[in-house]
Structure 1
Amino acid sequence: MRLIAFLCLIGLAGCVSTVPPQSPTRPKPQPTASASATTARAKVDQFVSVVQSVEPVAEAVCRQRTKPGTNCDFRIVVDDRPGQPVNAYQTLDRAGRPILAFTLPMIVEVRNRDELAFVMGHEAAHHIAGHIPRQQQNAMAGAVLLGGLATLSGANADAVRSAADLGASVGARSYSKEFELEADALGTIITRSAGYNPVRGAAFFTRIPDPGDRFLGTHPPNAQRIETVRRVDAQLR
């Protein structure tokens, strides 16, 4: 687990004062360096606590729901690259080990352990449901289809490559909304099983831009995602 960036953040917060000089208008005092350091430490403690609770549950659910031989040894890391947005994502390392990555802005943005646990459960669910290989298969099918059609039409090599690229992009997006809802549903189960409130966790969706229901959009409307969480959680009680 990479917490170096957090430790650096704590160190910097303890050295820099953010209290502005007083003026006749008596502006609202800003948090002091000590308060910023305390907040940073609280975020570190929150992240570590949720990882310790969610990771074993996610691995157990993975073993229960996937075929033998599936790598369920999750590695949860902090993406501390500068300039990263509020984001969490699931990927695989070269050996096929599932990686759940959280950017620093994401860890700072979540308001409570329930939100962090839900996001963690959601990303773990992507791996358990096999969304990366399924997306790759969809992209391959789209590339073959449009590339083949372009070839049959007599297009030149550049046009065929462009058609294949377009087909891969369309194919990869074809079921992305369904994948997100699947991950929301299974993430709800993981979150609840780890001892957190997934409905409270899904409140995170109320603070991010709503993607609506755009054609070939990658994410479903936020309201639909929250409803999915509520429905699945009600079934668990």
Structure 2
Amino acid sequence: MLRVLILAFMTLGACAPVAIDVQTGPRPAAQPGAAPLSASQAARQFVQVAETVEPVAEAECRRYAPRLNCDFMILVDDRPGQAPNAFQTLDRNGRPILAFNLGLINAVENADELAFVMGHEAAHHVLDHLTQQRTNATVGAAVFSGLASVSGASDIYVREAGRLGANVGARTYSKDFELEADELGTIITARAGFNPVRGAQFFTRLPDPGNRFLGTHPPNAARMDVVRRTAARLQ
């Protein structure tokens, strides 16, 4: 029996550890038209996927970016009623965090989808997208506030221009970052023993962002194309 430590957000600022015991065995595979998993089944599936994907993600991190902290921590936001969401961030000590809420854990239709989302978020850290995004935001803020300043704008407008520039800068390459994370996420998912093409179907059930100017995510078709081409290379 293996023990996985999952941290649940009890409040926005504090976390409490919850240990869940999971009996090892074959991963559950959802059948077409199968009934949704119960809460306990969804929790068990999440832990099994996390146990399998996390060491692969850490190995890929050490291979791709040995200078980074590759000791991933997986957190579960247990607040009810939230829309499905997952994200990657860093704690105050620079340790990478992969966070998932209950909405997402319950929304996936199979273990492959959950594994792909986990691999995708881990890829954001391996590719150091947070650092690049912060750099882009800083440059955008400097450019916009500088232009406002030389135009003779008041201090208030200069600050507002800086905030606008930071937002534009942070979004400038966000679509590229998502596609890069899809590519590496496909590799992580496949090497963990899951089907990334099947897993990426999760994104096709989300509203298609299209190709909006400064949108944060690329069109679903572009994402699926990256996943299929990457998966084909791995065969």
- TM-score normalised by L of structure 2: 0.85
Cα 1:59/1:164, change in 2 over 3 Å: same
Q: Name 1:8's counterpart in structure 2.
A: none
Q: Name 2:7's counterpart in structure 1.
A: 2
How do 1:57-206 residues align onto structure 2 when only pairs under 5 Å count? 57-68=56-67, 70-206=68-204
Q: Name 2:51's counterpart in structure 1.
A: 52
Larger radius of gyration: 1
Cα-to-partner distance string for 1:80-114 (whole Å, 9 max, x where unaligned): 12432101100111001000000101000001000
Q: CA deviation at 1:39?
A: 1.3
2:41 is aligned with 1:39: no
Cα distance in 2 between the residues matched to 1:107 and 1:150 = 45
Q: CA deviation at 1:205?
A: 1.5
1:44 is aligned with what amino acid? A
Cα distance in 2 between the residues matched to 1:114 and 1:131 = 24
Cα distance in 1 between the residues matched to 2:107 and 2:54 = 20
SS at match of 1:111: coil
**Equivalent position to 1:207, from 185, 205, 208:** 205
Q: Name 2:17's counterpart in structure 1.
A: none
SS at match of 1:84: coil
Cα-to-partner distance string for 1:208-234 (whole Å, 9 max, x where unaligned): 100000000000000110111000000
2:157 is aligned with what amino acid? A
Cα pair 2:60 2:188 within 8 Å, conserved = yes
- TM-score normalised by L of structure 1: 0.84
Cα distance in 1 between the residues matched to 2:172 and 2:7 = 34
Q: CA deviation at 1:2?
A: 3.0
Cα-to-partner distance string for 1:182-225 (whole Å, 9 max, x where unaligned): 00000000000000000000111121100000000000000110
1:222 is aligned with what amino acid? N
Q: CA deviation at 1:122?
A: 0.1
Q: Per residue, is there more helix in 1 or in 2?
A: 1
Q: Per residue, is there more strand in 1 or in 2?
A: 2
Q: How many residues align?
A: 207
Structure 2 gap segments, 5+ residues each = 1-5, 11-34
SS at match of 1:2: strand
